[in-house]
Amino acid sequence: MRQKPTVLAREIVATSRLFCVEELKLRFSNGVERTYERLVGKGAGYGAVMIVAMLDAEHAVLIEEYCGGTDEYELSLPKGLIEPGEDVLAAAERELKEEAGFGARQLEHLTELSLSPGYMSQKIQVVLATDLYEERLEGDEPEPMRVDKINLRDLSTLAQNPQFSEGRALAALYLTRDLLSQRGFFPS
């Protein structure tokens, strides 16, 4: 296993309401020194959760929400921050109810994904939700989200949709499709 670089200095060089930019001065095992910058979340960093909620054996829930990063309405999976003291599955259940209007009788943690590990420290927990029922909780969204669905057989088409661009969501959907297929739940 490779030796991680030595941190020579660490400093927050910029802050916003949501993020800090941290500058890291590093020395690698071969003596080369470099300065890296990365986005780190503010506060305790309880993490985030993304939910693949299955309406039936083939269809997953998508939501449409305004995304400040792209300045567009985008389709994605329900997701949100994990609150202090909340476990991953409870956060998934809450976010699913707030964003899509569904609860789930079965929740399963699948994996952890990062968005851009070269520049961001944030990771997201992916949860599979099945045996859904209608239930809505009020959330912090500024407007109601449109709820849609995707057939797991059509993921390549979804990837071409200009309104869908989140790589983590696409990875979570492919992972779910493969997992359900291995378990014999996804019809051939």
Please report which residue ranges of the chain form alpha helices under DSSP H: 88-100, 155-160, 167-182
Give the dihedral of Cα atoms 128, 130, 54, 71; nearest 10 deg.
Answer: -50
Interior/surface letters 137-173, b for 16+ CB within 10 angstroms, e for the rest:
eeeeeeeebebeebebeebeebeeeeebbbebbbebb
Give residue 2's pLDDT band: very low, low, confident or very high (50, 70, 90): confident
Position 131 scores a pLDDT of: 97
Tell me what the pLDDT averaged over the chain comes to: 90
* pLDDT surpassing 80 at residue 41: no
CA–CA gap between residue 177 and residue 58 (Å, rounded): 8
Q: What is the pLDDT of residues 59-83, one digit of tens each?
A: 999 999 988 788 889 999 999 989 9
Burial of 12 (0-12, 13-18, 19+ CB in 10 A): exposed
Q: What SS3 class is residue 170?
A: helix
Q: Which of 33-42, 130-139, 143-152 has the lowest mean pLDDT?
A: 33-42
